[in-house]
Chain A
Amino acid sequence: MVTIRIPSPLRAYTGEQAVVEVDGTTIGAALEDLTARYPELRQHLYEGQQLRNFVNVFLGEEDIRFLDGLDTGLDAGDSLRIIPSIAGGRPECESAPSLRQE
């Protein structure tokens, strides 16, 4: 078993558990097991078969993008953490004048 720490807004889909245990010998397999156990998570973590680009996964202190990504191997007792990248931006009003309030 490995553990995955769930970001606060998504704990509504894990019965308010901050940390859940899953099975998997790779990070990809562990995330698949996570979304099999808690199916409502899937649409917020994945777009098709790919992780959404604002979804970061850390193994310990390492971003898995700097490891082997979803193919990174896991040992029993490893700890994963899902971290959203917070980003925003104004509407592109120049091309959408109907959004202007003035």
Chain B
Amino acid sequence: MPVRITKQLQTRIFRHLESTWPNEGGGFLLGEIAQDAATVCESIAVENVFEAAEQYHRYAMTPQDWMRLEDEADTRGLALLGYYHSHPDSPAIPSDYDREHALPNFVYLITRVQAGAAQEMLAWRLRTDRSRFDSETLEVVVD
């Protein structure tokens, strides 16, 4: 299923992830799921709580972050679609570490931030048998 995001929202995510470089940054994606696409309506930056010395290649949220955002999504009738994070100076492809911590039916937007500049955002989804991520079409809509 394609993932749809506005250029404005993508730019907002890029600016956030550039601000956290050379460390990883991330946040949640709220939106709507229809038959033809999953549409990102909102991005919510979430602090990286991984040990500071490891943040250059690791990102983590707390369970409380999940609770808060899932409750908000449920209350507002939105879907907790997925989450975004950066790979500083590294390709926007999922790592084994990403896969080990991944859920199915969840959109993973990964952005390569090269020397402080966001260069590429790719969308991924974990296979239901957990064997690998599949690439999803990312439709960036000019608003």
Give A contacts to B, CB under 8 Å: 7-10, 12, 18, 40, 43-44, 54, 56, 58, 63, 81, 83-93, 99-101
* Contact, CB under 8 Å: A89 / B66: no
Beta-carbon nearest neighbor of B119 in chain A: A101
A88 and B24 contact, Cβ closer than 8 Å, known pairs A43-B129, A56-B63? yes
Partner of B105 from the list A9, A81, A86, A90 (CB cut-off 8 Å) is A9
- By the criterion of a CB under 8 Å from any partner CB, how many residues of chain B are at the interface? 43
B134 within 8 A of A: no
Taking the closest CB of chain A, its distance from the CB of B133, in whole angstroms, is 11
Partner of A88 from the list B63, B85, B91 (CB cut-off 8 Å) is B85
State the CA gap A13–B128 with chains docked (Å): 11
* Contact, CB under 8 Å: B130 / A63: no
Give B contacts to A, CB under 8 Å: 24, 26, 50, 57-63, 65-67, 70, 73-74, 79-80, 83, 85, 87-91, 93-98, 100-101, 103-106, 108, 110, 112, 128-130
* Contact, CB under 8 Å: A10 / B103: yes
Partner of B103 from the list A7, A93, A99 (CB cut-off 8 Å) is A7
Taking the closest CB of chain A, its distance from the CB of B75, in whole angstroms, is 12
Taking the closest CB of chain B, its distance from the CB of A54, in whole angstroms, is 5
* Contact, CB under 8 Å: A90 / B95: yes
Which 5 A-B residue pairs are closest in the complex by CB-CB distance?
A: A90-B87, A90-B90, A89-B97, A87-B60, A91-B95
Taking the closest CB of chain B, its distance from the CB of A91, in whole angstroms, is 4
Partner of A89 from the list B80, B91, B98, B129 (CB cut-off 8 Å) is B98
Partner of A43 from the list B62, B85, B101, B130 (CB cut-off 8 Å) is B130
State the CA gap A12–B88 with chains docked (Å): 33
A100 and B61 contact, Cβ closer than 8 Å, known pairs A9-B105, A43-B130? no
* Contact, CB under 8 Å: B59 / A88: yes
A10 and B24 contact, Cβ closer than 8 Å, known pairs A85-B61, A86-B65, A91-B93? no
Which residues of the partner chain B approach A44 to less than 8 Å between Cβ atoms?
A: 103-104, 130
Taking the closest CB of chain A, its distance from the CB of B76, in whole angstroms, is 13
